[in-house]
Amino acid sequence: MIKSSLEKGSVYDLRSALALLERYPDELITTDVEADPSAEISGVYRYIGARGTVMRPTKLGPAMIFNKVKGFRDVRVLIGLLASRQRVARLLGAPVDKLGFLLKDSVNNPIPPVVISADKAVCQEVVHRATDKDFDIRTLLPAPTNTEEDAGPYFTMGMCYASDPDTGESDVTIHRLCVQSADEISMYFVPGRHLDQFRMKAEAKGEALPISISIGVDPAIEIGACFEPPTTPLGFDELQVAGSLRDQAVELVDCVSVRARAIANAEIVIEGELIPNYRVREDQNTHTGKAMPEFPGYTGEAKQEVPVIKVKAVTHRRNPILQTVIGPSEEHVNMAGIPTEASILQMVDKAMPGRLLNVYAHPSGGGKYLAVMQFKKASLNDEGRQRQAALLAFAAFGELKHVILVDEDVDIFDTDDVLWAMQTRYQGDVSTVFIPGVRCHPLDPSQTPDFNPLLQDTGISCKTIFDCTVPFKLKEHFTRSQFKEVDVKRFVPDYQP
């Protein structure tokens, strides 16, 4: 079992996470130059550290805090907190190559959240109610736009928390939240999300669904919130994962204006209700036809009808930090990808223990579309089981599109090594498995009948296994050149592997 190496209680909110990063010379930078939240913040960070599927030039780099935001006096903006796997490893206290195992073990050992009193909840140090004469979420919080053609300002790192109106079971997820007016925010749901199930149950009764949106929290919560079924089924509160990661329960507090709970040490909380039978066009204020950049690297289309949150209050810490993310950046890769790795590891290990050595949700797929799986064949009886493992991966994570299978001597985190395996251990006509006609993720623009006439509907894909493993009977003919093991530090004292 993988456990975090961080001292218990050393990271418990956003500010303690930032304090941890400040110990390292290359993980966090700040600027006092005023930045416009309208496209400029993302425009800057695109060069500094976005990477992922962002249009080149871009690179991996430090997280960045903008201390001065145009039009807002007391709110800072943080971007890129989780935009490198190394930074995530430091924030969670685990080796880079063991993060999937850490997340898997955390799901299996959940710690439920607890509720604390309002006087102990720093997220309610300052309270703004919608009944206040000058209440306007657009002037309270600097919601950024990623590009100049976005449908509007978006909150992109809000931990949306609501409860099933029938069972009381709660769920936390991250959604596309577009500011529509002084007290309305539209909310886009990818089909099948648990909060949408709660919303539909409430709507069927003609009732509003109370909801909180916590922004600027412990990064363990942001990672845990990205688990999906079947690993975390309906009724599983993903805040339990964060509790396990930190070995202490996440603290919640009752909202001040709605019957919901929020993360008590969040920087900012937006409280509101999803209104039944009320929809708006996502780009009603800009008419661009576009929503915002999404993880595949393309700008998503504005939806014609999306549900709406009627905001009832905004609470925050003094001098709060608003956290945001570039949709196609490496930050999305890590938030979505590491839980994906954990889900695949869990599913395959149950079926064939010890054979799947590791998984990497590759950045080129935004952490969702492509998984590189390292499989060990111990005997001739294991031949073909690597493909079974790939099928299990597709079952564990329905949005997965491609799997690349490699042997234990290939570094799955080194793309050059993976591509080497494809060049020397793969023959297209016998090493490729096509699984046509399977529902995948709706944001892949190639999943249309216009692109592939064999597809019956948009959102259906041909899933593919690229088997770059050596047939077991030929293994001795594919041994890599073996170099002498030496103490490199004798020759280069500063050498770091």
Residues recognised as catalytic: 294
Token pair in block for residue 401: 């599109």
CA dihedral 270, 441, 226, 109 (to 10 degrees): 140
209, two tokens: 């669904």
- Cα separation of 221 and 271, whole Å? 18
Q: What are phi and psi of 478, to 5 degrees?
A: -125, 35
What letter represents residue 134's amino acid? Answer: D
CA distance 102 to 419: 27
Separation in Å, CA 353 to CA 1, 103, 321, 376, 406: 14, 18, 44, 11, 17
Q: Find out whether 14 and 28 touch, Cβ atoms under 8 Å.
A: no
- The sign of the dihedral angle between the CA atoms of 78, 81, 83, 84 is positive
In the numeric block, which tokens belong to residue 376?
């060990």
